[in-house]
Amino acid sequence: MQSENKNTLIVILLCSVSFVIVSYLVFRTALPKLPNIFLYNLIIVFSMHELGYQRTLFFLAAGIFLSILISITSQFLYVLNIPVFFITFLIADDEIKKHNYHSLIVKTRIEEILENINVLKAEHNKHKREAASLEKKNGRYNSLKDIVSTLNSTLSLEDVMKKIMDNAFSIVGKSDSGLLFLVDTSKQELNLAFSINKAYPDKVKTKKGDMLDEWVFKERQALLVEDIKKDFRFSEDRYSEYERLFRSVISCPLMEGHKVIGILRLENLHPHHYTSEDLRLLDIICDIGAVSLQNAALYKQTLDLAIKDGLTGLYLRRYFLDRLKQELPRCYSNNLPCSFLMIDVDNFKNYNDEYGHMAGDMVLKLISKVLLNFISGGMACRYGGEEFSILLPDVSKKDAIRIADNIRKAVKKEDVELRRVKTHVTVSIGVAAFPDDVKTYEELIMKADERLYKAKREGKDRVIIE
C-alpha cells in the first residue's frame, strides 16, 4: 500500500510540474499556442494512463473549477490552480482509498460470513442425512429383535423358510427377487427350496443354483455383487447362460458350524443397488435363520422317527393305519376308488439263516427302494417283519393290479449280492379294492391279507386279485 501511494505521489508531482511549465508557456510567452495545447493533451493522456480514467476526469473537473475560481480572485495566480488541484486531489484520493479499503474489508468479511454460513448449512444437511441414516439403521436393527420370536413360533420347515425370506425382504428391502437354497448333504449340491420373484413371477428359476451360488457354497462367504456384468470374479459368458434378469446381488450362506446348510440370495434388476450394510443385515438374518432351519429339520427328523421305520424309511404300521382310516371315508364321500396291496418277501427266513440278519436288512432296504418308485400319490408301509403294504387312494382295482405286477417284476429284476454271491428276491402280493371287494378298512386289510397267503400257497412270486 505504501509503495503504491509513493508511486501515485510521484506521478501527481510530475503531472503538476508539467502543467505549471506548459501553462507558463501558454499564458506568459508569445510562443504558438497549438503545440502547447498539444502538450496539455499529452499530459492528460499520461495522467489517464497512470492514474486511471475516473481519477483523471476528477482531476480535469477540479482543475477547471479551481482555474475559474482563482482567475476570479487573482488574474496573476491562475497558474497556481494546477498545484492547488493536485494537492486537493491527493487528499481526496487518499480519502477515497481509505473508504475503498474499509469497504473492501467489510465486503471481505461479508464474503467470509456467507462462506461460513454455506459451510454450516452443508454440515447441517450432512448431519441431517446421517441422523436419518442412523434412524433407518436403528429401525432395521430393531426389526432383527423380532426375528427370533417370529422364526421360533413354528417348527414347520416350509413356514421357517417363508419367514426367513419375508424378513429378508422387509428388513433389507430393495429386492425384486429372492432365492433360498438348501444343501443336499448326500449329493453335496444345492436345491431350490423357496423363492419370491416380484418382477417376473412366471420366470423359470435355476433349480440348482448358478455361478454366484457355487461361489458362496465353495468359499463359505457372504457375497456382494454391485454389477454382475462388470464383476471380474464372474465371467459374463457364463452369466449369459442363465435367463434370470438381475444386475446387483447379495448372497449369504446359512452355516451349521463350518458346514453350509443353505444359501439365501436377494437380487435387484438395477446395478449398484445394495451396500455393505445390506449385506451385513442379510448375514445376521442368515445366522438366525440357520438355527431355525436346524430346529425345524431336527423336529422333522423326530416326527419321521415317530412315524417312519428307521431301516427302510417307510411309514410305520400305526401311522399307516390311521391314514387308511382317514382316506377310506374320503373316497366313499367323493365316490372314488381306493386300493390296498399286501406284500411279503418270499423265503425271507432262508436269507437270514444262510447269510445272516445283515443280509436280511439289505433285502428289506432293496424292496423298500423299489416300492417307493411305484407309490406316486400313495403311501408305503413296513407292516411288520418282512411284510409291506401300499395304500393307493383314487386308484381303481384294475390299475392297482397293474402296479402290483410291475412291483413284482421290478423286485425280481434287482440283483442282490450277499457275501459276494449274486441272487434274486421275489415277492408275493395280495390286492384288494374299495368298493369293488369290501366296504370297510378292516375288510380291506383282511381281504388283501387273505389273497397274499393264497399267493404263497400257490407257489409264490405272483399277484392274487380274487
What burial letters (b/e) apply to 262-271, b meaning 16+ CB within 10 Å?
A: bbbbbbbeee
Residues 302 and 378 in one domain: no
Residues 53 and 86 in one domain: yes
* pLDDT averages per 10-residue partition of the chain, 466 residues: 64 66 62 56 58 60 57 50 55 61 78 88 84 67 70 82 88 86 85 82 66 89 88 65 73 90 91 88 88 87 85 91 90 91 90 80 90 89 92 92 94 82 88 90 92 92 90
| pLDDT of 76 | 46
116 domain residue, yes or no = yes
Residues 165 and 113 in one domain: no
86 domain residue, yes or no = yes
Which residues, listed in sequence order, are joined to residue 355 by a DSSP beta bridge?
A: none
Residues 271 and 288 in one domain: yes
Residues 456 and 325 in one domain: yes
Write the CA distances from 357 to 352, 354, 361, integer angstroms: 5, 9, 6
415 domain residue, yes or no = yes
Query: By C-alpha distance, which of 317, 320, 413, 305 is closest to 366?
Result: 413
311 domain residue, yes or no = no
Q: What is the CATH number of the domain that holds 355?
A: 3.30.70.270
- pTM given for the model: 0.56
Query: By C-alpha distance, which of 293, 297, 218 is closest to 251?
Result: 218
What phi and psi values does residue 389 have, to the nearest 5 degrees? -140, 150
Residues 268 and 338 in one domain: no
| pLDDT of 98 | 62
Write the CA distances from 267 to 167, 169, 244, integer angstroms: 15, 10, 10
| pLDDT of 456 | 92
Task: Name the pairing type of β-strands 379-384 and 259-268.
Answer: unpaired
| pLDDT of 78 | 45
Residues 176 and 254 in one domain: yes
- The SS3 of residue 196 is strand
What phi and psi values does residue 400 have, to the nearest 5 degrees? -65, -40
Residues 232 and 337 in one domain: no
Question: Any residues with CB less than 8 A from the CB of 144 and at least 6 apart, and which?
Answer: 171, 281, 284, 285, 288
Residues 168 and 259 in one domain: yes
312 domain residue, yes or no = no
What total number of domains does the chain contain? 3
106 domain residue, yes or no = yes
Dig out the grid coordinates for 51 from the structure: 492514474
Residues 8 and 122 in one domain: yes
Q: Which of 151, 167, 195 is the last residue of a domain?
A: 151
What phi and psi values does residue 263 have, to the nearest 5 degrees? -140, 130
**Which parts of 269-320 are beta strand (E)?**
none
Residues 356 and 393 in one domain: yes
Dig out the grid coordinates for 32 from the structure: 504558438
Q: What is the CATH number of the domain that holds 184?
A: 3.30.450.40
Q: Which of 306, 335, 365 is the last residue of a domain?
A: 306
168 domain residue, yes or no = yes
11 domain residue, yes or no = yes
Residues 412 and 346 in one domain: yes
Q: Which of 284, 306, 328 is the last residue of a domain?
A: 306
Containing domain of residue 29, as a range? 1-151
C-alpha atoms less than 13 angstroms from C-alpha of 396 in its C-beta half-sphere:
2
